[in-house]
Amino acid sequence: MSDSFELDAPDHFTVGAVGPPGQRVFYLQARQTGRL
């Protein structure tokens, strides 16, 4: 299982997906002041 991180109140949140339907990989990125 992947690493987990907890951000109380992210300043910015970005989502992306790569690949065809059914084989997609999803990427999530959140930023909290001083932490990406």
Number of separate domains in the chain: 1
Quote the pLDDT of residue 31.
Answer: 86
Residue 3 lies in a domain: no
Identify whether 32 is part of a domain: yes
Specify if 1 maps to a domain: no
Q: Is residue 20 part of a domain?
A: yes
Domain membership flag for residue 17: yes
What pLDDT sits at residue 19? 97
pLDDT at 2: 76
- Ramachandran class of 19: left when φ > 0, alpha when ψ lies in -120 to 50, beta otherwise: left
Domain that holds residue 33: 9-36
Contact in structure between 18 and 25 (CB atoms under 8 Å): yes
The per-residue pLDDT for 18 is: 97
pLDDT tens for 1-36 read 678 878 888 899 999 999 999 999 999 888 888 765
- Judge whether 27 lies within some domain: yes
Q: What is the pTM for the complete model shown? A: 0.56
Asked if the structure places residue 4 within a domain, the reply is: no
Residue 14: half-sphere exposure toward Cβ, Cα within 13 Å:
5
